[in-house]
Amino acid sequence: MAKIERVEIFMVNLLPKVKRTDAIQSFVRQETPFVRITDADGASGLGYSYTIGQGGPAIMSLLRETLVPRLIGQEAEAIQRIWRDLLFSTHATSVGAITSLALAAVDTALWDLRCKRAGLPLWRMLGGAKDSVPMYTTEGGWLHIETDDLVADAISAQAAGFAGSKVKIGRPHLSEDRERLTAVREAVGPAFEIMVDANQSFNLAEATRRAKVLEPLAIAWFEEPMPADDVASHAVLSARTSVPVAVGESMYSLSQFKDYLVGNAASIVQVDVARIGGITPWMKVAHMAEAHNVPVCPHFLMELHVSLVCAIPNAPWLEYIPQLDELTKAPMRMENGRAYPSDSPGLGIDWDEDKLAASRVKGLDLTAS
């Protein structure tokens, strides 16, 4: 083992490839904090996190002032110990998005370093359950998109080999959601999955009404129907509808997932590797879900999640939303609607160092040793 000798942090802003809107927000830009960790042998790992437009400087401040100074001199292989130490060093600000997103940037860097030292890709290091995964696309299903364009995108995705499409719901009246979803279902037929996402926009009464509209359309899952901290209402909704309820992208701790799983409040777990705090807690959530016979279908970050879902047996889908093309030499490998994790040692993301250097937000970087 080798001790951590140097830590570098910087941030890059990425604009969305398409306009992205849902029932409660817009994806303004991807603020992307990076952490590069170098050990005493000269090996290094690069990790990252993200926001959808707000909070990036706060994450960088937490890294600079609190987390990075605690890394110097630590054994780089002691990932579990480091993660827990950093969590408890920020106990007064946990559980929450800023802390989890900062932890994730550190944790993914440590896993990248571990895999590179071992000469293994992440998906094999973590278990190697499968070498590819089916994808569904979200890029053509945003809430502002009109029905004809929704249909055209779903047909195009189906022709490209995708096995499903996600459609955002939460239009002012349920009749609008019904019309949009019915048109897509009629266009793609019964063998193509349609997922829907309300982005926490309903209360229990309205979620129940919308679920009744979804059932005849054989919807694959009803994502974030209500605020994520309302476990009890999700349990009630899950008992009322035959449509699987999916949650997880807005949850930031193991305990939150435990409450959902024990309370039979979710049929699908959508744990986000950045928002949960990194690969270390992501794997714990995945194994906890497997123990409850619940699938894991993670949110966003396809370039990193492809390795994680291929590491475990209970992950049937990868969400297609490309976002890192401007910072990489080559995109994630895709063929006929399936995604394939890289066999290169590390996270499997082919970063372009020149592009990273040219894209840094000035005034937020730091190097500690």
Could you give the residue numbers annotated as active site? 168, 299
**Dist CA 267 CA 142 (whole Å):** 23
Q: Residue 52: which of 72, 88, 25 has the closest Cα? A: 25
DSSP annotation of 315: -
Q: Residue 64: which of 365, 277, 363, 361 has the closest Cα? A: 365
**Dist CA 214 CA 225 (whole Å):** 12
* In 146-296, alpha helices (H): 147-159, 174-188, 204-214, 231-240, 254-262, 279-291
Q: How far is CA 292 from the centre of its chain?
A: 21
**Residues whose CB is less than 8 angstroms from the CB of residue 207 and which lie 6 or more positions away in sequence, other chains included:** 198, 222, 225, 226, 233, 237
**Dist CA 24 CA 102 (whole Å):** 24
Task: Give the position of tokens 């630590």.
Answer: 74
Q: Own/partner pairs for 119-122, CB < 8 Å, 24+ apart?
A: 119/345, 120/345, 121/307, 121/341, 121/342, 121/343, 121/344, 121/345, 121/346, 121/348, 122/279, 122/307, 122/308, 122/311, 122/341, 122/346, 122/347, 122/348
DSSP secondary structure string, 40-93? Answer: TTS-EEEEE--BSSS-HHHHHHHIIIIIHHHHTTSBTT-HHHHHHHHHHHTGGG
CA neighbours closer than 13 Å in the CB half-sphere of residue 302: 24
What tokens does 23 get? 């029932």
**Dist CA 192 CA 185 (whole Å):** 8
Neighbour count for residue 223 (Cβ, 10 Å): 25
